[in-house]
Amino acid sequence: MLAYGIDLVRACIASGLTADQALPRFGFQFAQGNDFFEEICKIRAMRQMWATTMKERFGAEDPRSMHVRIHTHTSGVSLTAQQPLVNLIRTTLHAFGAALSGVQAMEVSAYDEGFALPTEEAATLALRIQQVIQEETNITSVSDSLAGSYYVESLTNQLVEAALVLVEEIEAQGGYIAAQESGWQRRRVEASAERWRDLIDSGERTVVGLNKYQTDEPPPTDLFKIDPQVEQTAIERVEELKASRDNDAWEKGMQSFAEAAEALATKDFAALDGSLIEAAIDAARADATTGEMMGVLKSALGWRPPHEY
């Protein structure tokens, strides 16, 4: 995340912005996993590294430039299809840790997401987890409430040290984007995922209900089901939009959007004449569909699966 942020700040500065003009608009999204203290310390470490890096490397002076505004999502990969109600315990601990670490916003996974989109009951319970923590625990009255704990401080420092080593490895390859395009990042992620899977398969890492404390219980039957008519209704709505929209305005909007996308692809920031976002808004106001605009971006930027880089 830090390495990616460094690349983004460099791009903003190359486009003519100062660090203090760009950074207050930055936000982050994290996943909150099972290791309670490590997940809290991960966010504490990110706050420390981000503030230091933005100040020392890019000369940020505005305090808002050094803030880390975080939206966290409880980790879906930590949930199990086996004994799905146990996922309520997992997501409660995820959300509790996120609140202790001081995130600004969060989304809690529903317990039945291992099977389908959440039912109304599951979605409501996920919301209630957040509401109980916010309204009943008084956690929000204290900032960084675990600060000073010998374990939390030590683990935070360990994560900072390890993360900065990783950032330097990425920087040595030319930055985050270059490391992604070379396939280096994909290889690291796949190796980590394989180690994690091996630990579970061997039983060294316990997952309740999956490799320990198993029970023979049938899968839930009251899952959310999408009405097939919903897809047909969506198709008809798009077809009606395309038939009734002002084609001249649509062509003008799409042309401007394509030009902005091409300018971004060539990193000719001066040619953007505003921003890609402004062009996208104009195209949307001319009734361009999301699919049409995504097609333009894919054509201009050459998007492809990570393994094809």
pLDDT, tens digit, for every residue of 247-299? Answer: 999 999 999 999 989 888 886 555 555 678 899 999 999 999 999 999 999 99
Domain 2-202 in CATH: superfamily?
Methylmalonyl-CoA mutase (3.20.20.240)
Reported as a single tens digit per residue, the pLDDT across 139-158 is: 988 889 999 999 999 999 99
Pair 71, 33: CB distance under 8 Å: no
* pLDDT reported for residue 219: 83
* pLDDT reported for residue 140: 86
Residue 90, number of CB atoms within 10 A of its CB:
21
Using the predicted structure, report yes or no on whether residue 212 has a pLDDT greater than 90.
yes
- Count of residues for the chain? 309
* pLDDT reported for residue 272: 54
**E strand or H helix at 290:** helix 290-301
Average pLDDT for 151-168? 97
Using the predicted structure, report yes or no on whether residue 307 has a pLDDT greater than 70.
no
Average pLDDT for 215-230? 89
Name the band, by pLDDT with cuts 50, 70 and 90, for residue 303. confident
- Averaged pLDDT of the chain: 92
* pLDDT reported for residue 271: 53
Name the band, by pLDDT with cuts 50, 70 and 90, for residue 308. low
Average pLDDT for 71-82? 92
- CA distances to 27, 63, 138, 155 from 142, in Å: 22, 20, 8, 21
Name the band, by pLDDT with cuts 50, 70 and 90, for residue 191. very high
Structure tokens at 249: 């305005």
**E strand or H helix at 97:** helix 86-101
* pLDDT reported for residue 265: 81
Average pLDDT for 188-208? 95
Higher pLDDT, 108 or 75: 108
Q: Reduced to 3 states, what is the DSSP secondary structure of residue 258? A: helix
d(CA 113, CA 64): 36
Spatial strand order in the sheet of 28-32:
28-32, 70-74, 105-107
Average pLDDT for 72-90? 94
CA dihedral 296→299→302→306, nearest 10 degrees, is 70
Reported as a single tens digit per residue, the pLDDT across 116-133 is: 999 999 999 999 999 999
Using the predicted structure, report yes or no on whether residue 220 has a pLDDT greater than 90.
no
Sequence ranges of the chain with CATH classification 3.20.20.240: 2-202
Using the predicted structure, report yes or no on whether residue 222 has a pLDDT greater than 70.
yes
- Contacts by 238-244 with C-beta closer than 8 Å and gap 24+? 238/289, 241/287, 241/289, 242/287, 242/289
Pair 108, 91: CB distance under 8 Å: yes
pTM of the model: 0.84
Nearest by Cα to 22 from 72, 68, 64: 64
Higher pLDDT, 81 or 272: 81
d(CA 8, CA 13): 9
Higher pLDDT, 308 or 100: 100
